[in-house]
Structure 1
Amino acid sequence: MKRTRSILAAVLSGLLLITAWAAFAPPAAAASLQEVTNFGDNPGGLRMHVYVPDTRPASPAILVAMHGCGRSGTGFYSGSEFAALADQYGFIVVYPTATKQTAMGNCFDVWSAASKTRGGGSDPASVVSMVEYVEDQYNGDPNRVFVTGSSSGGMETNALLALYPDVFAAGSVYMGVPFTCFANEADFPPQTSKCVNGSMDRTPQSWGDSVRQAYPGYSGPRPRVQLWHGSQDTLVPYQLLQEEVEQWTNVFGLSQNPTTTDRPQPSWERKRFADTGGTVRVEAITAVGAGHALPQTGMARLAIEFFGLHQNDPGGTTPPATTPPETTPPPTRACTATVRIVSSWGSGWQGDVDVTAGTGALNGWTLTWTWPAGQSISSSWNAQVTSSGSTVTARDVGWNGSIAAGQTRSAAWGFIGSGTATAPAVTCTAT
Structure 2
Amino acid sequence: MLRSWYLKSRLLAVLLAVGAALGLSLPAAPPAAAASLTQITNFGTNPTALQMYVYVPNSVKAKPSILLALHGCQGSGPYLYSSTDFAALADQYGFIVVYPSTNPGGSCWDVSSSQALTRNGGSDPVGLMSMITYTEQHYGANPAAVYVTGESSGGMMTNVMLADYPDVFKAGAAFMGVPYHCFYTGTVRGWNGPCAGGQVSLTAQQWGDLVRNDADPGYTGPRPRVQVWHGTADTTLNYNNLGEEAKQWTNVLGVSQTPSSTDTPVVNWNRARYNNSSGSTQVETYSIVGAGHQLPVKGTPMAAYAVHFMGLDGSGPVTGTTGALHAVGAGKCLDDPNSTTTPGTQQQIYSCSGGSNQSWTHTSANELTVTVGGSTLCLDAGDRGTANGTKAIVWSCNGQANQQWNVNPNGTVTGVQSGLCLDVTAASTANGAPVELWSCNGGSNQQWTLG
Letter of the structure 1 residue corresponding to residue 75 of structure 2: R
CA contact (8 A) 2:113 2:189 kept: no
Higher strand share: 1
CA contact (8 A) 1:111 1:188 kept: yes
Residue 258 of structure 2 is matched in structure 1 by: 257
CA-to-aligned-CA distance 1:266-297 (integer Å, 9 cap, x gap)? 21101111111111111111001101110122
Taking a change above 3 Å as real, the CA distance of residues 47 and 188 of structure 1, as seen in their structure-2 partners, is closer
Taking a change above 3 Å as real, the CA distance of residues 122 and 90 of structure 1, as seen in their structure-2 partners, is same
CA contact (8 A) 1:377 1:416 kept: no
Distance 2:182 2:448 in 1: 49
CA contact (8 A) 2:54 2:98 kept: yes
SS at match of 2:308: helix
Matches within 5 A, 1:347-358: none
Taking a change above 3 Å as real, the CA distance of residues 226 and 428 of structure 1, as seen in their structure-2 partners, is closer
> How far apart are residue 247 of structure 1 and its match?
0.7
Distance 2:51 2:413 in 1: 35
CA-to-aligned-CA distance 1:66-86 (integer Å, 9 cap, x gap)? 111001110100100000000
SS at match of 2:110: coil
> How far apart are residue 385 of structure 1 and its match?
3.9
Distance 1:424 1:64 in 2: 42
Taking a change above 3 Å as real, the CA distance of residues 100 and 109 of structure 1, as seen in their structure-2 partners, is farther
Taking a change above 3 Å as real, the CA distance of residues 140 and 85 of structure 1, as seen in their structure-2 partners, is same
Matches within 5 A, 1:234-253: 234-253=235-254
Residue 387 of structure 2 is matched in structure 1 by: 378
CA contact (8 A) 2:308 2:315 kept: no
Letter of the structure 2 residue corresponding to residue 259 of structure 1: S
CA contact (8 A) 1:154 1:173 kept: yes
Matches within 5 A, 1:383-402: 385-386=392-393, 399-400=407-408
CA contact (8 A) 2:109 2:189 kept: no
TM-score, scaled to structure 1:
0.70
Taking a change above 3 Å as real, the CA distance of residues 428 and 120 of structure 1, as seen in their structure-2 partners, is closer
CA contact (8 A) 1:118 1:164 kept: yes
> How far apart are residue 187 of structure 1 and its match?
10
> How far apart are residue 311 of structure 1 and its match?
2.3
> How far apart are residue 188 of structure 1 and its match?
6.6
List alignment gaps of at least 5 residues for structure 2: 1-6, 16-32, 317-324, 332-359, 363-367, 369-384, 395-402, 430-444
Residue 88 of structure 1 is matched in structure 2 by: 92
TM-score, scaled to structure 2:
0.67
Q: CA RMSD in A?
A: 3.5
Matches within 5 A, 1:100-115: 100=104, 105-115=106-116
Taking a change above 3 Å as real, the CA distance of residues 287 and 380 of structure 1, as seen in their structure-2 partners, is farther
Distance 1:398 1:416 in 2: 10
> How far apart are residue 182 of structure 1 and its match?
1.7
Letter of the structure 1 residue corresponding to residue 308 of structure 2: E
Distance 2:227 2:131 in 1: 22
Q: Which of residues 331, 337, 355 is equivalent to 2:329?
A: 337
Distance 1:188 1:69 in 2: 11
Taking a change above 3 Å as real, the CA distance of residues 136 and 338 of structure 1, as seen in their structure-2 partners, is farther
Q: Which one is further off, 150-159 or 192-201?
A: 192-201
Distance 1:380 1:181 in 2: 45
Residue 65 of structure 1 is matched in structure 2 by: 69
Taking a change above 3 Å as real, the CA distance of residues 205 and 309 of structure 1, as seen in their structure-2 partners, is same
List alignment gaps of at least 5 residues for structure 1: 1-14, 19-28, 314-332, 340-362, 367-375, 388-394, 402-408
CA contact (8 A) 1:90 1:312 kept: no
Residue 141 of structure 1 is matched in structure 2 by: 142
Residue 203 of structure 2 is matched in structure 1 by: 203
Aligned length: 335
> How far apart are residue 56 of structure 1 and its match?
2.3
CA contact (8 A) 1:187 1:195 kept: no
CA contact (8 A) 2:47 2:127 kept: yes
Distance 1:49 1:42 in 2: 14
CA contact (8 A) 2:167 2:221 kept: yes
Letter of the structure 2 residue corresponding to residue 99 of structure 1: N
Matches within 5 A, 1:273-284: 273-284=274-285
> How far apart are residue 117 of structure 1 and its match?
1.4
